[in-house]
Each structure stands twice: as C-alpha cells, then as structure tokens.
Amino acid sequence: MSGKDLPEVIDKTPEDIAQAINAIDGSNLPEPTKKFVIACINLAVWLPTALLEKKISVFNLRKLIFGQGASKRKGGKDPNKKEQDDNESADDELGNLASEPGDLPTNEDPTQPSNLQIERDDATGEPDKKPGHGRHSHDVYEDAIHHHLSVDGLSPGDACPTKCGGKLYAYQPGILVRIKGQQWACAHKYHVEKLRCALCGKLISAPIPDDVGSEKYDATFKAILAIQKYYIAVPFYRQAYFQSLMNIPLAASTQWQLIEQVATPALSIFRVLETLAANGEIIHADDRHLKILSIIKDNLDNPDKTRTGMFTTAILSKTQQHKIALFYNGTQHAGENMGQLLAKRTPDKDNVIYMCDALSRNTSSSFETILCHCLGHGFRKFDDLKDFYPEECLYVIKRIAKVYDYDDKTRGMTPEARLTYHQAHSKTIMQDVEDYLTQLLEQKRVEPNGALGKAVKYMLKHWHELTQFLRVPSAPLDNNSVERLLKIPIRGRRTWLFYKTPYGAMIGGVLTSVIHTCAMAGENPITYLAALQEHQKESCCLFQTKEYPPK
C-alpha cells in the first residue's frame, strides 16, 4: 500500500468488535495468524483513543504555555485587546459563559434591551454617557501631603475688592492634585556642626533632633524593602542594582539584615493572626510547590528520606469582621498546616467550614470540619475537554455556569437566605447534572479510564463535598479566593526562584501574611510595618517567644 492509498474507515460498535474477535478466535486459522489478526484489531481500536488522549495532553500543554486565548464567539473579547488580568476571579469566567437560547430558564425580560445593546438618547441618538470622567477623585489620595494656598491680602469678613459693598466669607476651596515623582529611598546627610576650644580642647557638637533617629535606615524604608521583596517580588540583587542607579548603594546582604529587623515584630503579629484565623467561620486552603535549596541538598545527600516535598500553603480565614491570609513555607503540606492551625481553635466553637480541592494531602484525620470541595475544579475538567467532547462537556458547563449566576445574585443575602435561594434554584440543576453524569457511565457512553470518564468519575466521587452549598449556610462554591492568594508567592517564585534556608522561607511567609492581611483590610502595609518596628516592644509582648515553625 502506497502512502497515498488510505485504508477504508469502518465504524463498528464495541459489540461488533467483540463478535469479530470471537469469530476469528473460533475459526480454523493457524494460531499465530489468529493472534496477529486479533492484535491488529485491538491496535486499531486503541490507536484513535490514544491519539485523542495525546491530543488532549498537547492541548493542555499549549494552553498552559500560551494561555486560554481570546474567545471567538459572538460577544467575545477582541483578540487584539489586552487579556484579562491574572487576578480576575475564576467565578467571573464561569458566570460569563453564555447559554444557548431556551437551554435554561432565565429571568431576563425579552422586552427590555439586551445587556449587549447600547442605550441611546432618544433626542440625540447618541449613546448615553455614564456619569464621571474616568479619573480618580482627590479623595482616593488619603496619604497626600496637603498644601494650603491663601488669597493674598484678603480674609473672611473683608470688603469685596470690586467695591460692590459686600463682604467676603469662606467658600469651599478648590483642590488640585499633582503627582510628583520621587525616589522611594532618599539619603539625608546631616552636617553636625562641631566647635572645639583652642585652649582646653573641649568639643561641642550641635544637638541632633529626635526626628533624625538613631539608625541609618528608618522603619518606613525597611517596610518598603520588605514589600518590594515579598509582595512585589523584586529580588534582592535587582533592588541592589536599582539602588545603585539612584546613587544609593544597598547590598543584598544589607537588605536581608533589614528584612530580619522587620520580621521580628511581624512574627508576634503573625501568631495573633493564627489565633484569629483558627477561630474563623470559613477557611480556604491550598498549596503549591516551592524550592528551598538547603532542603534540596539534604534530599540529595539522603536519598532514603521519605519526606522530600516542599510546599507553600496559603490559608484564607473569613470571619464576619476580618479576612486573614496566612502563608506557610516548608515541608508540611496544607493538611498538616491546617491541623496545627485548628489546634488553636476555641474548643466550644462549631466545626469550621473548610474549603479545599480533593487532594488527600489537604485533609487530615487530626481535625474535624465541614468539608467542601471546589466546584471550579470540576468545572475546569470539563472546560479543558469541551473541544473534544462538545456535547457532553457543554451540557455540564452551561448548567454549572447557571449555578454561578444564581450565586452572584445571592450576594448581600444572609447565609440562611442564600441557602434557601440555592435550594430553590440550584438544587434542581445540580441534580440534573448528577443524573446526566451517572447515565454517561451506566450507559457506557464514555470510556471510564479516558479523559472524559475521569472527569465524570471525579465529579461523582466528590459530589457530596462539591454540593455543600445546597446544605450548609455560607458554604462557598469554589476555592478561587485562596488560589488568587497563591499568585502572590507564585510571582515571587518566578522572579527570585527559591529560598536558601527554611528560616528564610519562614520569614517570607510571615511577612507576606502580614502584608496581604493589611491589603485585604484596606490598610497601608507600609505604615503598618513601620508602626510595628517603632512599637516593637509592645508587639513582641503579645505572645511569649516560642520556637517557630512548630515541629
């Protein structure tokens, strides 16, 4: 057969293939010939599936390297426009999935203009302009330096300069905002005058004001340095190079010493945050791999070690008043870190709602929780396969997207009202999804060990944990919030790549925790870290010194 001669493609059901194999096996053909023909049939059946699985793997690799890509469907984003920011939530992506007309019930009034239509002014025919001019109000600049400009020669109560007979009174001042560039580190030189007696040799120096301080690097500078390193993810060597360009040299070793000075009071605050987080109402947790050079070297020197993994665990605890972020860097995974955290929980409190993905290392028998699994993980398994199994995947995707749409409408509701709303609107949809997935397996419409079959079995195996929001007030749908948290250490891993020692990794986790908790609370982390250093004695007295991290 030449390369241009394609073999005839004959579609056969699994039953037809089994009958053909049985017929060949029962024929009078020589035994080696039987084995050869049956092997050819099995190869022809296996090869398309193997190629499909390989194509799926290559597809996922391409998506990992080049991104999801712009949508080409109507109403999708322009591929020439900037892609969404990495911090855009995954639940927004789920909620924006369009459903086929008539596929699911909708609350939209067909007599009203579509969200995609542009409303126009009836009089002019021009698009209605939204209020505002796209600029920030002066109120957003809370830490601005204020300057007061007065009217020369006039004050309230004076006669009007136009000689109209009226008197001036104070009016609301106008406000101009001017953003002026400056270095984030500025070197101040104080020339201390000294006088020396020509007779007795006594040396008299000028008094040094209190605001000059006693240290070369002030608290604010060290706070900025910590944020640049552990939040903006600028490596020490890059900061050193930048500082040299600004004619303020700052060696990497000096930076580390300054970081330690910030971490000392921050560690006490971190322990307070642990206690508050342990008593939260909802806790999210997940982890990612990281590299610690000293541990990697120890693993190579001791190949028989049973524990070789290294993880960054992110924990997000939510209460009615606060959101607390904790980061742990070391050899312990999420389940072990959660176990140590919940050991600090007040004993008389109810079990916490714990959201994580379905990896076994995220849970532990050492603590009891109301376990929830991430529905977004299940959704993405079908979203990855929709180009290869469109009918089955789109059925699941559209219905889960509708559940997310309902969840968006529950924002602002009480936990009990949210639960009632989901039971009234989402329960039927999720039951349809469960029935559909069960039928796919029972009717053998999917290969159980194939990519789609694994996605189906994942959903059914963890169905109870995936649908806790239908039974438990306040139970979240997914773990997207903590996955967004993990992007903070991930961007550090992409720039400075690794930690050198577990001690350095611990300091990185502590400072990242304090900084991001400040950010979520709307507080300025530079001001907060500076205040911690200035009141170090008070902050260090919050907890007695203990060995950290706990063994």
Maximum mean pLDDT: which of 8-17, 172-181, 246-255: 246-255
Single-letter code of the amino acid located at 452: L
Distance CA 410, CA 476 (A): 12
Distance CA 385, CA 381 (A): 7
The predicted pLDDT at position 45 comes to 81
Q: How many CB atoms lie within 10 A of CB 505?
A: 27
Within-domain flag for 144: no
46 vs 507, higher pLDDT: 507
Q: How far is CA 521 from CA 286, 327, 514, 525, 528, in A?
A: 21, 17, 11, 10, 11
pLDDT reported for residue 467: 96
For residues 322 and 120, the model is more confident at: 322
Of the candidate ranges 139-153, 225-239, 297-311, the one whose mean pLDDT is the lowest = 139-153
Helices and strands, counts by H and E, the chain:
19, 7
pTM of the model: 0.75
Beta-carbon contacts of residue 494 (< 8 Å; ≥ 6 apart): 233
Given a contact cutoff of 8 angstroms between Cβ atoms, the answer to whether 242 and 185 are in contact is no
Give the list of residues 6+ apart from residue 353 with CB closer than 8 angstroms, or none.
281, 282, 283, 369, 370, 372, 468, 472, 474, 475, 476
When mean pLDDT is compared across 198-207, 220-229, 311-320, 433-442, the lowest value belongs to: 198-207
Average pLDDT over residues 29-57: 80
pLDDT mean across residues, the chain:
84
532: confidence class by pLDDT, cuts 50, 70, 90: very high
DSSP sequence for 322-382? -EEEEEEEES--HHHHHHHHHTTS-TTSPPPEEEE-S-GGG--TTS--EEEE-HHHHHHHH
What would the pLDDT profile of 474-505 be if each residue is shown by its tens digit? 999 999 999 999 999 999 999 999 999 999 99
Sign of CA pseudo-dihedral 180, 181, 185, 191: negative
Beta bridge mates, 499 = 292
In a domain, 295, yes or no: no
Least confident of 121-135, 257-271, 399-413: 121-135
What pLDDT, on the 0 to 100 scale, is given for residue 14?
A: 81
Picking from 151-155, 358-362, 504-508, which range would have the lowest pLDDT averaged per residue?
A: 151-155
With respect to residue 316, please indicate whether it lies within any of the assigned structural domains.
no
The answer to whether position 467 is within a domain reads yes
Q: Read off the pLDDT of residues 387-432 as tens digits, 9 standing for 90 and up.
A: 889 999 999 999 999 999 999 999 999 999 999 999 999 999 999 9
Residue 34: pLDDT band by 50, 70, 90 thresholds?
confident
Selection from 14, 12, 16, 56 nearest residue 381 by Cα: 56
pLDDT for 324 = 97
On whether residue 247 sits in a domain, the answer given is no
Classify residue 5 by its DSSP letter: -
The answer to which of 222-226, 333-337, 537-541 has the lowest mean pLDDT is 537-541
Q: For the chain, give the percent of residues with pLDDT over 70.
A: 81
Instruction: Mean pLDDT check: name the lowest of 3-17, 65-79, 417-431, 520-534.
Output: 65-79
Give the count of domains, the chain: 1
In a domain, 541, yes or no: no
Q: At residue 468, does pLDDT exceed 60?
A: yes
User: Within a domain: residue 393?
Assistant: yes
In a domain, 462, yes or no: yes
Token readout for 383 is: 């979203």
Q: Residues 88-117: what's their mean pLDDT?
A: 38
Contacts of 129 (CB under 8 A, 6+ apart): none
Chain segment 75-97, per-residue pLDDT in tens: 444 444 444 444 333 344 343 43
CA atoms within 13 A on the CB side of 465: 24
Which residue segment(s) compose the domain that 393 sits in?
Answer: 375-475
Please report the pLDDT score of residue 545 as a whole number. 43
CA distance 404 to 376: 10
Given a cut of 90, whether residue 61 has pLDDT beyond it is no
* In the chain, % of residues over pLDDT 90: 53
Looking at per-residue confidence, does 130 or 146 come out higher?
146
